[in-house]
Amino acid sequence: MSAIGRSRGIHYLQKLSAANIPSDLIEKGQSRVIDASLTLIREKAKLKGELVRALGGSLASTSLLGVPLGHNSSFLQGPAFAPPRIREAMWCGSTNSTTEEGKELKDPRVLTDVGDLAVQEIRDCGVDDDRLMNVVSESVKIVMEEDPLRPLVLGGDHSISYPVVRAVSQKLGGPVDILHLDAHPDIYDAFEGNKYSHASPFARIMEGGYARRLLQVGIRSINSEGREQGKRNWGKE
pLDDT at 237: 46
**pTM metric for this prediction:** 0.91
Note down the domain range covering 130: 23-157
Looking at residue 1, what is its pLDDT?
Answer: 40
Give the pLDDT confidence score for residue 221 in this predicted structure: 87
Residues 133, 208 within the same domain = no
Question: Are residues 192 and 150 located together in one domain of the fold?
Answer: no
CB-neighbour burial class of residue 226 (10 A; exposed 0-12, middle 13-18, buried 19+): buried
Residue 27: pLDDT above 80?
A: yes
State whether 97 and 126 are in the same domain. yes
- Which of 126, 157, 188 is at the close of a domain? 157
**Residues with Cβ within 8 Å of residue 161, at least 6 apart in sequence:** 155, 186, 201, 202, 205
- Residue 8 is assigned to a structural domain of this protein: no
Provide the percentage of residues in the chain whose pLDDT is more than 70. 90
Residue 188 lies in a domain: yes
pLDDT above 60 for 135: yes
Query: Are residues 28 and 102 both part of a single domain?
Result: yes
Give mean pLDDT, residues 44-73.
96
Please report which confidence band the pLDDT of residue 107 belongs to, taking 50, 70 and 90 as the band edges: very high
Do 188 and 231 fall within a single domain? yes
Kindly indicate the confidence band of residue 77, based on its pLDDT and cuts at 50, 70 and 90: confident
Read off the pLDDT band of 4 (50, 70, 90): very low
Residue 13 within any structural domain of the chain = no
CA atoms within 13 Å, Cβ hemisphere of 188: 18
Question: 222, 186 in Cβ contact below 8 A?
Answer: no
Same domain as 182, residue 135: no
What pLDDT does 10 receive?
58
Whether residue 39 sits in one domain with residue 98: yes
Domain count, the chain: 2
Residue 167 belongs to some domain of the structure: no
Task: Confirm if 164 and 137 have CB atoms less than 8 A apart.
Answer: yes
Give the mean pLDDT of 215-230.
89
144/189 same-domain check: no
91 shares its domain with 140: yes
Based on the domain organization, do 52 and 131 belong to the same domain? yes
If you average pLDDT over every residue of the chain, what do you get? 91
Binned at pLDDT 50, 70 and 90, residue 12 comes out as: low
Residue 5: what pLDDT? 46
Q: Which of 128, 157, 186 is the last residue of a domain?
A: 157
Pick the more confident residue, 88 or 13. 88
**Same domain for 146 and 179:** no
- Indicate whether 183 pLDDT > 70: yes
Q: What is the pLDDT of residue 2?
A: 45
Is residue 137 a contact partner of residue 163, using CB atoms and an 8 Å limit? yes
- How much is the average pLDDT of 103-109? 94
- Domain stops at, among 125, 157, 189: 157
Residue 96 in any domain: the answer is yes
